[in-house]
Amino acid sequence: MQQGLTTIKGRPIVGVIGCIHGNEFYGKEVLARLRKLKIRKGTLVTVFANQKAHDRKQRFVKQDLNRSFPGTWEGNHEQRLAAKIMKAIRKSDFVVDLHSSSTSTPPFIILSRITKEHLRFLERIPVERVVYMHKRIASGKALIDHCKCGVSLEMGKHAKANLARDTYEIVREILANLGMTGETKGFKIKPKKLFVVRDITSYSTYSTESGNNAGLMNFVKAKEKGKSFYPLLITPRKYAYDNVHFLKAEEEPYEKLKYLIA
């Protein structure tokens, strides 16, 4: 794990985590660019999470780091990393966990818990789609499950053109909207759309009415046994380390998010 710190006295403290998964290579460039950003207020903590997996061009070394939190100092490689990351961001007011995926998708935010602070933070993030993982679905072992106010930022396919640049611009806007960079003009927050995940579809259980999954696309409405849903984080079988094919979500009015406050 590599940690960087850009600080001016005072709050907020924002943690940005890249390369939780070693095959999400763009995170390294995003963190390098953020470390050069002029911070005028608050503290920016940047964490290059899984250096060993990144160097080996693997998703993880022993186990999925994003299923290893809060970690333990006596555990395997990822479990120890999780403990180190928790220590690095323990004082953070906000945490942004950067991710990419194996299939094309528009950028979206993932939440595994909701507080009033989460709702305020969402209004500073220039991303339209918000995905809430119902408590029955969230693993409880992801980084954002253990942050005071954390979100995962899913940015699209691993090899997407300009992925690092686009991610950097979103994070820079977040920091500006928090008053950390001194930039005050030009950033507009898009109206939000809410998708609630209530089911996980594995390769052993999924079948469409047509008998195959041809044509499934992230955030494009599909139908199974007469019922409509939105597939999210569609994963080809060879990359489905946990046998999860996709998450099944329903779109709901964004205003309902406040009723999910823990």
Largest Cα–Cα distance in the chain? 59
pTM for this model (two decimals) = 0.92
**Mean pLDDT across the chain:** 89
To the nearest 10°, the Cα dihedral for 172, 146, 130, 233? 100
Higher-confidence residue of 27 and 191: namely 27
Does 214 have pLDDT greater than 80?
no
**pLDDT at residue 5 is higher than 70:** no
Within 106-238, strands assigned E span 108-111, 129-133, 150-157, 193-202, 222-224, 227-232
Q: What's the residue count for the chain?
A: 262
Q: Name which residue leads in pLDDT, 39 or 7.
A: 39
Query: What pLDDT score does 208 carry?
Result: 43
Q: How far is CA 58 from CA 13, 30, 51, 108, 241, in A?
A: 30, 19, 10, 24, 12
Choose among 104, 127, 101, 153: nearest CA to 254.
127
Domains of the chain as residue ranges with CATH: 2-177 (3.40.630.10), 197-260 (no CATH)
Tens-place pLDDT, residues 23-35: 999 999 999 999 9
Instruction: State the angle between helix axes of 163-177 and 26-34 in degrees (0 to 180), rounded to the nearest 10.
Output: 40
State percent of the chain over pLDDT 90: 73
Distance of alpha carbon 241 from alpha carbon 105, whole angstroms: 19
188 CB-contact burial (10 Å; exposed 0-12 / middle 13-18 / buried 19+): exposed
Lowest mean pLDDT among 53-57, 83-87, 189-193: 189-193
pLDDT band at 104 (very low <50, low <70, confident <90, very high): very high
CA atoms within 13 A on the CB side of 35: 15
The CA distance from 192 to 200, in Å, is 23
Q: What is the pLDDT of residues 106-145, one digit of tens each?
A: 999 999 999 999 999 999 999 999 999 987 787 789 999 9
pLDDT digit string, tens, across residues 46-58: 999 999 999 999 9
Higher confidence at residue 128 or residue 190?
A: 128
Rounded Cα distance between 220 and 229, Å, is 9
CA separation, residue 41 to residues 8, 79, 179, 183 (Å) = 5, 33, 7, 11
Q: Quote the radius of gyration of the chain (alpha carbons, Å).
A: 18
